[in-house]
Amino acid sequence: MRTQVGIIGAGPAGLLLSHLLHLKGIDSVVIESRTREEIESTIRAGVLEQGTMDLLQDVGLGNRMVAEGALHQGFELTFEGERHRIDLTDLTGHAITVYAQHEVIKDLVAARVAAGGKLVFGVSNTSLHDVESTKPSIRYEKDDDTCEIHCDFVIGCDGSQGPSRSAIPEAVRKDHQRLYPFGWFGILVEAPPSSDELIYARHDRGFALISTRSPTVQRMYFQCDPRDSVENWSDDRIWSELHARLDQADGWRVTEGRIFQKNIVGMRSFVSNVMQHGRLFLAGDSAHIVPPTGAKGMNLAVNDVKILAEGLDSFYKNGTEDKLNAYTATALQRIWRAEHFSWWMTSMLHRFADATPFDQQLQVSELRYVTSSRAGATALAENYVGMVGLSH
């Protein structure tokens, strides 16, 4: 098979890049190890920044997001038994939309299928070849056949466990990582929303978060030991913990419902400071991971492929590689800003086992500052809606 751009991974990064390239008249093929049903049904968080919302609208993918997503103009921080609202729209003029990642994927897949895009699901044993040359290729197996895609560029959108990043020699890569000593225990609940907006809570027992997926399905998290097991947590124990961390003296309480999914996710920050090698480019989780506290993961992936699409368009239209050569440096501006913001939010809201009373008071002081100072609140809001660190 011959194409201009070979894309590994049918997550938001790979699918959106393929769609953006299609709009620019550039041919691509997307391969994915999972089935279409799997990628469209794996429920994952989705907080879309203003820039992501605008881009999806601009490229014809925003109708369902607008109709079914929840537009939020603020969120709440709770600590020391107090509730404080961060008014995003008042502070920045922008907002966010809560729209699950698998719903974005459904929209992207539908758009690619409608346009006759080449999507190959259920592949295995994917490998990259000759990425340092001008004629790279991707090999994979499908239905017991060995297939090969010959292309001008390979884009690795295959996440942290895919083969793309490892195709860059270790001597060339510059990886940075921070592991956090806690995880998030997540549940999906059949219930009406507990709140009109997201709630981030700092509590002496640990962090908690109230989010939403739809008018009838809610997502809730609380800080836990990443080595814990979901089998140790009965429904009653989960609700007891969430009530302890979130219920307020003014009578507000978490709304309970039927828990139909439980999982524990680890927390880490990761950046590959080299996102390109020859004709191979990394985007999304293959290049960087953020803790979910800052709600940046999918938005970073969107920014990556936006930059790549512009660079590839310049290459095919003008024969210039300047934008492609600058891809890593351009993308890292946004990535490191988001990494810092996510680390800051995580550090400010979570309970650390080795924290002294002094450390705990510093957390409270920081929270009081961002909820009482307009300057502090604005800095938080600008980062949250994605106004800072963007490429231009």
The set of catalytic residues is 72, 200, 292, 296, 384
Burial 254-271 (b: 16+ CB within 10 A, else e): beebebeeeebeebebbb
How many beta carbons lie within 10 A of that of residue 89, not counting itself?
A: 16
CA distances for 75 relative to 213, 330, 350, 384, angstroms: 15, 30, 17, 10
CA distances for 6 relative to 70, 119, 141, 279, 300, angstroms: 34, 11, 15, 10, 21
Phi, psi (degrees; rounded to nearest 5) at 331: -65, -35
H-helix or E-strand spanning residue 260: strand 258-272
Q: 124 pairs with which residues across the strands? A: 141
Phi, psi (degrees; rounded to nearest 5) at 296: -110, -15
Structural contact between residues 210 and 195, judged by C-beta atoms closer than 8 angstroms: yes
Which residue shows structure tokens 């990425």? 131
How many beta carbons lie within 10 A of that of residue 151, not counting itself?
A: 21
DSSP 351: P
CA–CA gap between residue 340 and residue 179 (Å, rounded): 14
How many beta carbons lie within 10 A of that of residue 192, not counting itself?
A: 12
Structural contact between residues 237 and 244, judged by C-beta atoms closer than 8 angstroms: no
Structural contact between residues 321 and 193, judged by C-beta atoms closer than 8 angstroms: no
Which residue shows structure tokens 């140790």? 232
Gyration radius of the chain over CA positions: 21
Phi, psi (degrees; rounded to nearest 5) at 138: -125, 125
